[in-house]
A and B are shown apart, each in its own frame.
Chain A
């Protein structure tokens, strides 16, 4: 029974991990850039939520998600317009990787200097402890809400990309950056919106993860690695795959923690590495 509970909790955590991965997958799918600074932006949004929650102690901390999402969208837009667009068409595929890695180092150390290296978390009071009892299993309300929210966001993103004009423009830009210009689309501006959307999704994941577990300015690397593993495990291009990848990682992590309480992310990393060994071509195959 305890194992069933672990698996269910792993699946619920996986919804959150899926959210971490989806922003990274979106940027990679559209502009073939792995944004190494994604994890640092998530931590930054968590810090913003903590700051806002301290400013307005009477409001529910979850309400802070709304301004933080808006802020993250703006930050993403500016980040893409000011920095990433300058290398996105570089013939060398390594330039965006190196550039975003540089940005992640800057962000991490600015956060260390501004906010200090202490461990923080976002308190939501009763909600974080509330739980449901279904057939003898204890299921947390907060993780359940997170998974539902993740599923809704995935669905919404899918709908937007499939059925709206914005979605068509994004998909067209992802396919042929040079040809969409003929239809009057400016690829760089599309990229700005995509990066804004990516960081807004990352902000939701970052804030919800800050509710679940504590964080420091150094947590960005850990979050990036989870996000990346989610994307690779799920298979690129498939948003539902990312959700499945997240669930697999969440389960692996919680089973690992049951076996060894201070394993941290070790078992999630193991799952990722084993999958790379046994199914490399399937995992790396990307949509073109």
Chain B
């Protein structure tokens, strides 16, 4: 069966599963599933930047916060149901990324990572000082009375599911396009990429803005589900920690990696904080140890290691090498030329 058919079939199955899940799952499970999907989207966005554009951001929480605050404030000013102002979240987060990219892109590697972190700290400090956005105590969702609470959880789940599917589909489409090829060539060797005419800065810029916009969208949905936002939760560096661990454990620079990573992330959390009765701190310790061990033993992550062993390719964006038949023609042709 051709890959395309499998992909279309599984996409239809997934859409059906997400559409039907709220009818089957109870509210607690639905909330957990929503959380999983949102974190998966964020991890994919972090992966787009780190795994494909080669930029590790330790301050990505700032885009989550920008998206969420943008939603809360706009919804309050316009007095409309938060769902209708959702597009504001990615727009604001993306716009902030587009502006901040100019100074930050002068920095490479660890400098970029930590400068992003400092930027997040500065914006977080300003938010805590500014009474207009609620200061340290945060703001409730002003328009929560406009929400139909009978359908709130299912709607949040559908939005999160839709966002995840669209994100993954768009990333797959992007990575199989010439833009994605350019992006990966920049990651692998920016000098070589430049020499064949790839615009390195533009590629990085687009990846950065898209990554920020996606995180803003997912962050807005996350805090909309809580009906409340406070700077300590929104600017928590743990957002970056979660995104990073999920991507590192699952497999950096692959689309399937974060999916596997999210499964491990939540599986471990439910196991450690549920039946084992451990605190959130020990859970993060456990997750950190797994991430460190994976980085040392399988630096590309678990999915690439697993894929090579079982030979299954799901959302593979690798180009196939020239077929043996085609390769056999080439030496013959060159012989003719030299002969």
Is there contact, CB below 8 Å, between A97 and B115? no
Is there contact, CB below 8 Å, between A101 and B58? yes
Which residue of chain B has the shortest Cβ distance to A268 in the bound complex?
B118
Is there contact, CB below 8 Å, between A106 and B122? no
Is there contact, CB below 8 Å, between A103 and B117? no
Is there contact, CB below 8 Å, between B113 and A97? yes
Q: Nearest Cβ distance between residue A244 and chain B, in whole angstroms? A: 19
Is there contact, CB below 8 Å, between B103 and A109? no
1/0 contact trace for B250-289 toward A, CB 8 Å?
0000000000000000000000000000010110110111
| Contact (A109, B284) CB under 8 Å given A269-B118, A276-B103 | yes
Q: Nearest Cβ distance between residue B229 and chain A, in whole angstroms? A: 21
Is there contact, CB below 8 Å, between B279 and A113? yes
Q: Select which of A94, A101, A277 is within 8 A of B109 by beta carbon.
A: A94
- Is A98 part of the binding interface, using a Cβ–Cβ cutoff of 8 Å? yes
| Contact (A109, B288) CB under 8 Å given A92-B299, A281-B106, A284-B108 | yes
Instruction: Collect the chain A residues with CB atoms within 8 Å of residue B121's CB.
Output: 225, 265, 269
Complex CA distance for A102 and B240, rounded to whole angstroms:
11
| Contact (A106, B58) CB under 8 Å given A93-B109, A112-B281, A113-B279 | no
Is there contact, CB below 8 Å, between A94 and B50? yes
- What total of A-B pairs shows CB separation below 8 Å? 109
User: Which of A235-268 touch B at CB < 8 Å?
Assistant: 260, 262-266
Binds A, one of B14-22, B155-163, B241-249: B241-249
| Contact (A103, B285) CB under 8 Å given A98-B56, A265-B121 | no
A interface bracket (residues with beta carbon within 8 Å of B): 35 or more
Q: Nearest Cβ distance between residue A251 and chain B, in whole angstroms? A: 18
Q: Select which of B237, B241, B295 is within 8 A of A99 by beta carbon.
A: B295
Complex CA distance for A262 and B126, rounded to whole angstroms:
11
Which residue of chain A has the shortest Cβ distance to B291 in the bound complex?
A102
- Is A95 part of the binding interface, using a Cβ–Cβ cutoff of 8 Å? yes
Instruction: Collect the chain A residues with CB atoms within 8 Å of residue B296's CB.
Output: 83, 86-87, 99
Instruction: Collect the chain A residues with CB atoms within 8 Å of residue B58's CB.
Output: 36, 101
Complex CA distance for A20 and B287, rounded to whole angstroms:
28
Q: Nearest Cβ distance between residue B308 and chain A, in whole angstroms? A: 18
Which residue of chain B has the shortest Cβ distance to A110 in the bound complex?
B285
Instruction: Collect the chain A residues with CB atoms within 8 Å of residue B237's CB.
Output: 221
Complex CA distance for A102 and B292, rounded to whole angstroms:
6
Complex CA distance for A105 and B248, rounded to whole angstroms:
14
Complex CA distance for A207 and B264, rounded to whole angstroms:
38
Q: Select which of B56, B113, B122, B282 is within 8 A of A266 by beta carbon.
A: B122
Q: Nearest Cβ distance between residue A265 and chain B, in whole angstroms? A: 7
| Contact (A272, B118) CB under 8 Å given A87-B299, A98-B295, A99-B296 | yes
Q: Nearest Cβ distance between residue B156 and chain A, in whole angstroms? A: 28
Which residue of chain A has the shortest Cβ distance to B105 in the bound complex?
A280
Complex CA distance for A112 and B245, rounded to whole angstroms:
19
- Is B54 part of the binding interface, using a Cβ–Cβ cutoff of 8 Å? yes
Is there contact, CB below 8 Å, between A106 and B299? no
Which residue of chain B has the shortest Cβ distance to A103 in the bound complex?
B292
Q: Nearest Cβ distance between residue B55 and chain A, in whole angstroms? A: 9
Q: Nearest Cβ distance between residue B52 and chain A, in whole angstroms? A: 12
Q: Nearest Cβ distance between residue A33 and chain B, in whole angstroms? A: 8
Instruction: Collect the chain B residues with CB atoms within 8 Å of residue A281's CB.
Output: 106
Instruction: Collect the chain B residues with CB atoms within 8 Å of residue A77's CB.
Output: none
Instruction: Collect the chain A residues with CB atoms within 8 Å of residue B125's CB.
Output: 263-266, 269
Complex CA distance for A225 and B129, rounded to whole angstroms:
20
Is there contact, CB below 8 Å, between B299 and A90? yes
- Is A232 part of the binding interface, using a Cβ–Cβ cutoff of 8 Å? yes
Q: Select which of B54, B118, B281 is within 8 A of A94 by beta carbon.
A: B54
Instruction: Collect the chain A residues with CB atoms within 8 Å of residue B172's CB.
Output: none
Complex CA distance for A61 and B126, rounded to whole angstroms:
37
What are 30 sample pairs from A and B whose C-beta atoms fall under 8 A apart? A83-B292, A83-B296, A90-B299, A94-B109, A95-B299, A97-B110, A98-B248, A99-B296, A102-B248, A102-B288, A102-B291, A102-B292, A102-B295, A105-B245, A105-B287, A105-B288, A106-B285, A106-B288, A106-B292, A109-B282, A109-B288, A112-B281, A225-B114, A232-B111, A265-B121, A269-B122, A269-B125, A276-B115, A281-B106, A284-B107
- Which residues of B pack against A, CB within 8 Å? 50, 54, 56, 58, 103, 106-111, 113-115, 117-119, 121-122, 125-126, 129, 237, 241, 244-245, 248, 279, 281-282, 284-285, 287-289, 291-292, 295-296, 299
* Known A101-B244, A221-B237, A229-B118; 17 more pairs at CB < 8 Å: A83-B292, A87-B296, A99-B296, A102-B244, A102-B291, A106-B284, A109-B282, A109-B284, A109-B288, A110-B281, A225-B114, A272-B118, A273-B118, A273-B119, A276-B106, A276-B107, A280-B103
